[in-house]
Amino acid sequence: MCGIAGFVGPGGERLARSMCAALAHRGPDDEGFHLAPGVALAMRRLAVIDLATGQQPMANESREIWVVFNGEIYNYSELRHGLKSRGHRFRSESDTETIVHLYEELGVDFVDALRGMFAIALWDGPRRRLVLARDRIGEKPLYYRRTASGLYFASEIKGLLPVMASRSADPQAVCDFLALGYIPGARTAFDGVAKLEPGHRLVYEDGRAVVERYWAPARGAAAPPLKEAIDETADRLADAVRACLKSDVEVGAFLSGGVDSSILVALMRRQAARVQTFTVGYEGAARGFNELSHAARVAARFDTDHHELLLGAQSTLDLVPRVLWHFDEPHGEPTSALVYELAGFTARHVKVAIGGTGGDEIFFGYPRHRAVRLLGYYRRLPKVVRRHLVERIVARWPESTTGNRFAKRARRFVAGADLTPDAAYLSWVRLLDREVHAALIGGSVKGLADDPAGDRVLRDHLFAGGGDLLDRAADLDTRAYLPDFQLTYMDRMSMAHGLEVRSPLCDYRLVEHALALPPQYRLRGLRSKHILKEIAARLLPREIVNRPKVGFDSPIGEWFRRDLRPFLDSFLAPDQIARTGLLDPDAVQRLVADHLARRRDYSLQLWSVIALEAWYRMYIEDRVSGAADCVLDRLRGAPRSRDAHLFAGRSGGATLDDRSTGRSMASA
């Protein structure tokens, strides 16, 4: 695991070292460079496999082909055995060296043989060819910037800042972000910086860059009986966990107490005598958002060394600049601050952790998936009942910011009930209604965007036609929401502390299998994740398997009305919004007023507006170039005279309490 950077084109050692230094947090153990005229490969290493001889960059026997690599190749032992039988000589025991020899055998198709999470940069000296490749699901990131004379790449956008003489926001990305809460596809928030999409490779040769997709999950095979499908899924999941446990250092686990993380811990304990588990929650009035008791119950069941971390309101706010520094872009998930602190806490104990990301996307675990089924039932009600009873009740039901999202979801559900099913689903997954979104985006931004509504990616997937809507929703989740939202924030928040997080539920063999199953195997009636819960029932207590989904949530909406109200008023003041120029100041004030008056719950929307504004003020206006500049007090519009009891705490987020249970109690 590491961060990689480099270029083909103008530059030299100084530039390579500057790009690499920006990624030092991703690999605190080592750095390495391959430098040649007009070429540089650089890396920062987090040593996990082959601690003694696994340094990068690595080369083939003739030292003509070089590679830097971020991630883990889980099937490298099998690949290595086959390559040795064909005469390849290895100098190390690392997975990285396997990539070089695979390229010698297969050319650019080497990526088809890899199982794992990865972002790869390979330089073929004789051909003067650079190959970039990203794993199929998108666990590891890779960005690039084309110029008239070269191509530059890095694991994070901050690694490209040294080659950006000027910075500007991409207007379409602003529209996309406020429609979705993330920036999908190849676009980024920075004009002139692109993202290599999951399952894609880029070949740069003779000054020409060709990007192509090398993987897409297949469908169409005959469905096995449900019992066989459950058994096959269980085998694939267990195999994915086994693969993710390959390491020369200890592997821990994030544990929320939900089905996904709990089943992974159960499978880990089948193969490891000792497992450390980690969970995070809130203290004080926000305790209602916690799942700490559920996590503790699972930890006790499997006798793990369990650690808990408790946070408060000031942690979330003070971390906004630091979190955005690690994202490099605006991101619409307020729990990012929790994961940031949890990752730092976990990194004090282990270098690698298993996470449950991916289960909801491939097994239909979100309320929006059940809503597809509910829509059919709801439309059977007489219109008079819907209009004069249900919709009136829902319209008057206040939206809560204390953890219960029922009223908010019900309002969005009935608002889309008369649309076509795919249009209804689109309305459910937008961050902002089209009308609110259109009013919020500044006129100059809309004028420069080719899709001001920002939902083209939703339309492309949901309106593609043919097949079950749930299958199309799964395509959207696995191609956009999972890599560009969920996996992005897990990677950035963990690598901010040099912690590697592996996601067995994102193993591409498991994903291929799950997406090929009939939707009713994954969503049986209104029972979400049916097939996964049937597997969980073999391993977990019934009360864990069948308890209602809580989700990893944040009390940020209630804090906006209380503790964080001064910040909200100051940071989103009309003059501050007008100075940025991305948003309409009056529309922002309406959003704030509706939230504060409890007419609507705009928790996520306001967080997203703050994230967008803070990103622009940091990266575009102030041109920050290092984490040391990312302090809340330095952001334009942040209150300069802050309440002492609210904002007290150490730099980088206030940890109010951390607790450990089990055998590690004495050392916690």
Same domain, 354 and 373: no
Question: For residue range 148-193, what is the model confidence (pLDDT) as tens digits?
Answer: 999 999 999 999 999 999 999 999 999 999 999 999 999 999 999 9
What tokens appear for 641 in the block? Answer: 């005279």
- Enter the pTM of the model: 0.92
The CATH number that applies at residue 38 is 3.60.20.10
Determine the pLDDT at residue 645. Answer: 32
Q: Which residues of 315-343 are buried (b: 16+ CB within 10 A; e: fewer)?
A: bbbbbbbbbbbbbbbbbbbbbbbbbbbbb
Quick one: average pLDDT of 580-594? 97
**Given pLDDT bands bounded at 50, 70 and 90, which one contains residue 629?**
confident
- Report percent pLDDT > 90 for the chain: 68
Determine the pLDDT at residue 322. Answer: 87
Same domain, 246 and 334: yes
Same domain, 249 and 377: no
Kindly tell me if the per-residue pLDDT of 643 is higher than 60: no
Same domain, 344 and 482: yes
Determine the pLDDT at residue 279. Answer: 92
In 3D space, the residue among 299, 307, 314 whose CA is nearest the CA of residue 347 turns out to be 307
Kindly tell me if the per-residue pLDDT of 641 is higher than 70: no
What are the φ and ψ backbone dihedral angles of 619, each rounded to 5 degrees?
-85, -40
Same domain, 562 and 580: yes
- The answer to whether position 533 is within a domain reads no
Give the DSSP per-residue string, 122-156: EEETTTTEEEEEE-SS--S--EEEEETTEEEEESS
Count other Cβ atoms within 10 Å, centred on residue 655. Answer: 17
**Given pLDDT bands bounded at 50, 70 and 90, which one contains residue 599?**
confident
Same domain, 91 and 202: yes
Count other Cβ atoms within 10 Å, centred on residue 16. Answer: 21
Q: How far apart are CA 247 and CA 347, in angstroms?
A: 15
Quick one: average pLDDT of 265-293? 79
Number of structural domains found in the chain:
4
- The answer to whether position 341 is within a domain reads yes
- What value, to the nearest 5°, has the Cα angle with vertex 535 and ends 533 and 536? 60
Same domain, 382 and 452: yes
- The answer to whether position 665 is within a domain reads no
**Given pLDDT bands bounded at 50, 70 and 90, which one contains residue 139?**
very high
Same domain, 34 and 63: yes
- The answer to whether position 240 is within a domain reads yes
- The answer to whether position 15 is within a domain reads yes
In 3D space, the residue among 341, 331, 268, 257 whose CA is nearest the CA of residue 296 turns out to be 257
Same domain, 47 and 181: yes
Same domain, 376 and 360: no
Same domain, 521 and 446: no
Question: For residue range 525-576, what is the model confidence (pLDDT) as tens digits?
Answer: 999 999 999 999 999 988 888 877 665 567 788 888 888 899 999 999 999 9
- The answer to whether position 531 is within a domain reads no
Instruction: Give the range of the structural domain holding residue 505, as residue numbers without chain letter.
Output: 226-364+476-526+541-546
Q: How far apart are CA 102 and CA 120, in angstroms?
A: 13
Determine the pLDDT at residue 316. Answer: 65
Determine the pLDDT at residue 313. Answer: 56
Same domain, 142 and 30: yes
DSSP 391: H
- The answer to whether position 76 is within a domain reads yes
Average pLDDT over the chain, rounded to an integer? 88
Stretch (H or E) spanning 593: helix 585-596
The CATH number that applies at residue 248 is 3.40.50.620
- The answer to whether position 388 is within a domain reads yes
Q: How far apart are CA 596 and CA 612, in angstroms?
A: 20
Quick one: average pLDDT of 207-232? 92
**Which residues, including other chains, have CB under 8 Å from residue 184's CB and lie 6 or more apart?**
176, 457, 480, 484
Question: For residue range 236-262, what is the model confidence (pLDDT) as tens digits?
Answer: 999 999 999 988 889 999 998 889 999
Kindly tell me if the per-residue pLDDT of 661 is higher than 70: no
